[in-house]
């Protein structure tokens, strides 16, 4: 029976029984255990503020114990046949898919996103397990003759070694599978530290990985109320070989500085400030549809969220009216309610930050076309908002909004649009709308973003290399590039076989 088929009374029981089935301990060496100091922290529902669960809070000592387990498992895991690793990932894909309703509900409860979106994240997140199960057996090296024709070159990929994986709160499943799956594919062991605001999905996912047959010690999970208490000792430990981080740019910079001490491999998926450019020849209805997806996925709490709407002056009035009508029609509510299109923001601080950016933009001369205020009552809801005439120097155009707010500004020439798009230290996602394919390609050549959508508001896909340039980060997740983040290259020079 699916959630929607249950009687109105049943969902509360269903939520309680699901929450009761989530492991609350630390996963170290294949066993769930308490924190060494028996410390705990609470996880809340952002739609109600109520406590959902209480988890063990890992200490620095627990983090080192998790690395002990990862280090102990590394050598045999690296020697495990690729087919065996691939089949564990494939079983994990099947199990996550079987448990899709559980994962979706957990994400809605701890993060707030509407159930339909949470189901979409399960599909997207699970796909990394299937994609990397296929990549596991196709990580090719090469064998060639040196140019002068005498000797041979053999190149092979090896697992980089034990990794620290740190994930954010906004996509609790997908951000974990995007790291865990390629690490498994490459033969690495790992310590995963999920965000303290939304760790329940990662706990449930870790149990699912054990159920799929992942050997003890390969994946260790240390949720904690002190992030630096985990990362500090691990980054300083010479057994750790890599850190993969998804989160904000300031934290990423700090981790890179710490990682430099042991010259660790780093993958950094950091913040964004995506431009959404609507050219004069765009299909406006398609652009509005794309804008809704690019802006409102996850209530705007996404690194890929369209953050700046740059619209050609000749179509700005039409685009703004249609976009504002669509935004104004969205229903705000708890994500478990089937009518809900927009859930709460993650906490009160996040909502205050969004409102401060809106207020400052209005003070600087922006017009509120729809929304513009927090929603009264329980939970951290904010009205879907469209702002027009936003001055180019307004703070809201310079930083991640991370909320359901769309600031619109206009441009006249293609070069002006490119200049505006590039006027940010970020370079993650970007979106272009036009019917002229040559123009789209010409602009893509000139904008400094790791990802560009052509007439598309959603571009994330497990088969595509996700990542940014500039201060949006280093490295790629997904695609054929994803596994390379977890391998190191070894070259073997072979003396002329004819003289042996
Ligand atoms: P955050 O940087 O506050 O936290 C991310 C993770 O880092 C969490 O697990 C947190 O506990 C941990 N952390 C925080 N301080 C730390 C420290 N000093 N040492 C070690 N770990 C620490 O980010 P957030 O608020 O959880 O997530 C939102 C941010 O993530 C946004 O900037 C968003 O753009 C970015 N993000 C990027 C991508 C991407 O793929 N580029 C994807 C999702 C989110």
User: Residues 364-385: pLDDT tens digits?
Assistant: 999 999 999 999 999 999 999 9
Q: 448-485 pLDDT, tens per residue? A: 999 999 999 999 999 999 999 999 999 999 999 999 99
Longest dimension (CA), the chain: 83
Q: What is the pLDDT of residue 10?
A: 67
Residue 301 lies in a domain: yes
Q: Report pLDDT for 6.
A: 41
pLDDT tens, position by position, 154-198: 999 999 999 999 999 999 999 999 999 999 999 999 999 999 999
**247 CA closest ligand 1 atom index:** 30
Task: Report the percent of the chain where pLDDT is more than 70.
Answer: 98
- Does residue 436 share a domain with residue 404? yes
Q: Best of 197, 203, 248 to mutate for ligand 1, by most ligand atoms within 8 A of CB?
A: 248
Same domain, 481 and 412: no
Residue 100 included in any domain: yes
Model confidence at 8, pLDDT cuts 50, 70, 90, reads very low
Answer whether residue 470 is part of any domain. no
Instruction: Determine the 3-state secondary structure of 13 from DSSP.
Output: helix
Residue 399 in contact with ligand 1 by CB distance below 6 A = no
Q: Are residues 315 and 373 in the same domain?
A: yes
pLDDT of residue 7: 45
Domain-located, residue 469: no
Q: What is the pLDDT of residues 120-161, one digit of tens each?
A: 999 999 999 999 999 999 999 999 999 999 999 999 999 999
Contacts 24+ apart (CB under 8 A), 397-400: 397/273, 397/307, 397/308, 398/273, 398/424, 399/273, 399/357, 400/271, 400/272, 400/273, 400/303, 400/305, 400/307, 400/426
**CATH at residue 162:** 3.40.605.10
Mean pLDDT of the 355-364 span? 98
Q: How far, in Å, is the centroid of ligand 1 from the Cα of 367? A: 32
Is the pLDDT assigned to residue 497 strictly greater than 90? no
> Does 3 score more than 70 pLDDT?
no
State the residue for tokens 């123009």. 439
- What are the tens digits of pLDDT across the range 281-327? 999 999 999 999 999 999 999 999 999 999 999 999 999 999 999 99
Report which ligand 1 atom has the smallest distance to the Cα of 466. 40
Same domain for 289 and 256, yes or no, is: no
Q: Is the pLDDT of residue 2 over 60?
A: no
Q: 346 and 237, same structural domain?
A: no
- Beta strands at 405-411 and 385-388: parallel, antiparallel or unpaired: parallel
Report the predicted TM-score, pTM, of the whole model to 2 decimal places.
Answer: 0.97
Residue 345 located in a structural domain:
yes
Q: Are residues 121 and 254 in the same domain?
A: yes
pLDDT of 402 strictly over 70: yes
Find the 147 Cα to ligand 1 centroid distance in Å.
46
Q: Are residues 284 and 406 in the same domain?
A: yes
Interval between CA 193 and ligand 1 midpoint (Å):
11
What sign does the dihedral 252-255-261-263 (CA atoms) show? negative
Ligand 1 centroid – CA 246 distance (Å): 5
Question: Are both 132 and 20 inside the same structural domain?
Answer: yes
Look at strands 40-44 and 51-56 and give their pairing: antiparallel
- Which residue range is the domain that position 323 belongs to? 274-423+429-461
Tell me the CB-side half-sphere exposure of residue 407, using CA atoms within 13 A.
Answer: 32
Neighbours of 83 (CB within 10 A): 11
Report pLDDT digits (tens) over 204-250: 999 999 999 999 999 999 999 999 999 999 999 999 999 999 999 99
Q: Which two tokens stand for residue 144?
A: 């060639």
Name the domain count of the chain. Answer: 2
Predicted local distance difference test score (pLDDT) of residue 46: 95
What is the set of active-site residues? 269, 303
The count of other CB atoms within 10 Å of the CB of residue 84 is 12
Q: Look at residue 140 and give its three-state secondary structure.
A: coil
pLDDT reported for residue 42: 98
Question: How remote is the CA of residue 248 from the centroid of ligand 1, in Å?
Answer: 4
Q: Indicate whether 498 belongs to any domain.
A: no
Give, using CA atoms, the residue closest to atom 9 of ligand 1. Answer: 195
Which atom of ligand 1 lies nearest, measured to the CA of 228? 19
- 203 and 322 in a single domain? The answer is no
Give a yes or no: residue 128 inside a domain: yes
Q: Based on the domain organization, do 361 and 416 belong to the same domain?
A: yes
Flag whether 318 is in a domain. Answer: yes
The Cα–Cα gap between 202 and 224 comes to 12
The reply to whether ligand 1 has any atom less than 6 angstroms from the CB of 271 is yes
223 touches 205 (CB < 8 A): no
Residues 9, 153: one domain?
Answer: yes
- CATH number where 435 lies: 3.40.309.10
Mean pLDDT computed over every residue of the chain: 96
Q: Is 456 in the pocket of ligand 1 (CB under 6 A)?
A: no
Return the percent helix, strand and coil in the chain, to nearest 5. Answer: 40, 20, 35
pLDDT of residue 499: 81
75 shares a domain with 104: yes
Percent of the chain with pLDDT over 90: 96
């Amino acid at each position: 029976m699916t959630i929607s088929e249950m009687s109105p009374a049943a969902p509360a029981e269903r939520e309680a029984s699901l929450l009761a089935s989530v492991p609350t301990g630390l996963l170290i060496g294949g066993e769930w255990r308490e924190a060494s100091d028996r410390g705990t922290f609470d996880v809340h529902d952002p739609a109600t503020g109520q406590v959902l669960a209480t988890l063990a809070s890992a200490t620095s000592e627990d983090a080192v114990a998790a690395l002990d387990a990862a280090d102990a498992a590394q050598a045999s895991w690296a020697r495990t046949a690729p087919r065996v690793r691939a089949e564990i990932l494939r079983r994990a894909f099947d199990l996550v898919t079987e448990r899709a309703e559980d994962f979706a509900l957990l994400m809605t409860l701890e993060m707030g996103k509407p159930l339909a979106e949470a189901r979409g994240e399960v599909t997207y997140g699970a796909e990394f397990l299937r994609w990397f199960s296929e990549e596991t057996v196709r990580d090719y090296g090469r064998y060639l003759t040196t140019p002068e024709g005498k000797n041979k070159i053999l190149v092979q990929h090896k697992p980089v070694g034990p990794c620290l994986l740190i994930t954010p709160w906004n996509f609790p499943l997908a951000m974990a599978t995007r790291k865990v799956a390629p690490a498994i594919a490459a033969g690495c062991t790992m310590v995963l530290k999920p965000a303290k605001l939304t760790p329940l999905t990662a706990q449930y996912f870790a149990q699912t990985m054990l159920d799929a047959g992942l050997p003890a010690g390969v994946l260790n999970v240390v949720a904690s109320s002190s992030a630096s208490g985990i990362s500090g000792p691990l980054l300083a430990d010479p057994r750790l070989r890599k850190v993969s981080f998804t989160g904000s740019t300031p934290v990423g910079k700090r981790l890179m500085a710490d990682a430099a001490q042991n010259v660790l491999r780093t993958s950094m998926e950091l913040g964004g400030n995506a431009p959404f450019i609507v050219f004069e020849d765009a299909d406006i209805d398609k652009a509005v549809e794309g804008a809704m997806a690019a802006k409102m996925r996850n209530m705007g709490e996404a690194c890929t969220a369209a953050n700046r709407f740059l619209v050609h002056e000749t179509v700005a009035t039409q685009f703004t009216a249609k976009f504002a009508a669509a935004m104004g029609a969205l229903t705000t509510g708890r994500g478990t309610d089937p009518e809900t299109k927009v859930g709460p923001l993650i906490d009160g601080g996040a909502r205050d930050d969004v409102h401060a950016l809106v207020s400052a933009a209005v003070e600087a001369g922006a017009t509120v076309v729809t929304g513009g205020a927090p929603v009264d009552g329980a939970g951290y809801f904010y009205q879907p908002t469209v702002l027009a005439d936003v001055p180019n120097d307004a703070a809201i155009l310079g930083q991640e909004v991370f909320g359901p707010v769309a600031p619109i500004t206009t441009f006249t020439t293609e070069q002006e649009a490119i200049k505006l798009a590039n006027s940010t230290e970020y370079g993650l996602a970007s979106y272009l709308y036009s019917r002229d394919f040559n123009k789209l390609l010409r602009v893509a050549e000139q904008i400094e973003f790791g990802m560009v959508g052509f007439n598309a508001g959603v571009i994330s896909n497990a088969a595509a290399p996700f990542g940014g340039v500039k201060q949006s980060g280093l490295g790629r997740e997904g695609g054929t590039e994803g596994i390379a983040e977890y391998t190191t290259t070894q070259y073997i020079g072979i003396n002329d076989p004819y003289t042996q």
